[in-house]
Each structure stands twice: as structure tokens, then as C-alpha cells.
Amino acid sequence: MSGLREAVVGARRIVVKVGSSSISGENAGQIDPLVDALSAAHARGAEVVLVSSGAIATGMPHLRLDARPTDLATQQAAAAVGQNVLIYRYQNSLARYDIVAGQVLLTAGDLENPTHRSNAQRAMERLLGLRILPIVNENDTVATHEIRFGDNDRLAALVSELVQADLLVLLSDVDALYTRPPQEPGAERIDRVPVDDDLSGVELGDIGAAGVGTGGAGTKIAAAKHAAKAGIPVLLASTGNVREALAGEATGTWFEERPRA
């Protein structure tokens, strides 16, 4: 058929993760094009889960902070304020397509505790069955893993496993994984990562870690590897290319999944 990625266009259940810096502050305007792409996937029948950070960054101006707070309690306070505003923005944008969002706040610990895990799984299944678009973030008031490292990269991989997604799309500020930090000379774009490739030749810089987020190439690769080993293919792409990414066009870096047993 065409050059489209079949694993994307045929995916029944898709988890998309977006980081703080892509959708807050001066990039808050990227929420609409992101939602356009999510809605297009939803309209073709896919079940879509969004894992979005950005609570702290979105809360900052409301606490009159012009830089990311450094102490945990103020980060949590900013997240509590910002989460509310963030969901409001998503819901406003989704309303253009008549889609309703459901807020799901989780911790990695919830996903390890069998009772919490099955509760979360049941809720997610029902939300998706009702054609709601769940928007997941870390529950920052009780857990702070993603505040410290990862900006939800790890949470997104765990959520993909929880819902047995067919695809995880990790969005960042950089369009793909490169052999070395992309601003450096000689950096080459990596198109595909086989499941057994440990990427030992890749020199890690920070992608998407500047400013208000906490993720980087390292946390993205770890998350992608985790999902790929669980049988879920992963596409690492830029937020600016989300439409192309979800339409199955050749963009970003593709992490091949281990075949499911």
C-alpha cells in the first residue's frame, strides 16, 4: 500500500504522551493542533489516551512564579493549581470535536499495587468504551516521581502497558532520536530502533528538558524500551509533527516492539 505506517493507521488503542514545555507558557497554543491530531485518530475509530504533563508549568503564572519552583511543596502546589487549568484548556479544545475528556491522576505505585491497578484498568476500559478521551497525569500531591525525573515518560509507558495499547507516541521538542545531541555536528537521525538494540552508540543530550520540563532523551529512551519490550511499538516524534505522526507518515524514530507471546 502507500508509504503510511500500518501499525499507526491500524492501531486500535493509542497512548500519546506530551511534555510540559510543548503545551504550556508560550507553547500553550500547541494544544489546539495537538487536539486536532488526537481527534482525527479518535474519528477514525481509535481509542486515544493522552498522558500530559504541564500541571506545574501551567500553574506557575497563577502563583505569580516566573521560574519553575525548586522546592517540592511549591511544585506540588503549582501542580494542584495548574492541573485544573490544563484540563480546562484541553476540554475547551476537545469541545470543538464534541469529545469529552476524563481526568485520570495516577502514580507509578498505583500501577504496581494489584488492587489499585485493577481499579485503574477497569476505569480506563469504561472511559474508552464510552468514547471519552482520558487525560492522565501523575498525581503530584501524593507522588513526585515524575516531577523529579521524566516528565511522565515512564508513566506513559506504564499506562500503555496497563491499557494494552497498540502504540505509544512520545512527543518532545525534537523531531527524532539522533546519534548525538542534534545541535552537534555529525548528528544523524535514527529512523528505526530494533528491539534488541541497546543504543549504546548513542550519545545522549537533553531533548525537551530545557525550561519547565524534566524529561530528556534518556528518560524517553528508557520509556520507549520499556514499552517495546512489553510488545508495544513506540514512535518518538516532535509535538509540531503530531498530525503527521498520528496519520502514519514517516516522521520521528520508530522503536520496534518485541512480538507478544
Q: Residue from 18, 38, 51, 56 that binds ligand GLU (CB under 6 A)?
A: 56
Compute the least distance from the CB of residue 193 to ligand GLU, in Å: 25
Containing H/E element for 23? helix 20-23
Residues with Cβ within 8 Å of 171's Cβ and at least 6 positions away in sequence, in order, are: 16, 17, 18, 19, 22, 34, 237, 238, 239, 242, 245
* Site for ligand GLU contains 50 (CB under 6 A): no
C-alpha cell at 221: 529512551
CB nearer ligand GLU, residue 11 or residue 79: 79
Q: Residue from 146, 153, 166, 173 that binds ligand GLU (CB under 6 A)?
A: 146
CB nearer ligand GLU, residue 43 or residue 142: 142
Site string for ligand GLU, 96-135 (x = CB under 6 A): ----------------------------------------
Dist CA 151 CA 110 (whole Å): 17
Compute the least distance from the CB of residue 213 to ligand GLU, in Å: 5
CB nearer ligand GLU, residue 56 or residue 171: 56
Q: How many CB atoms lie within 10 A of CB 2?
A: 8
* Interacting residues with ligand GLU (CB under 6 A): 20, 53-56, 79, 137-138, 140, 146-147, 151-152, 213-214
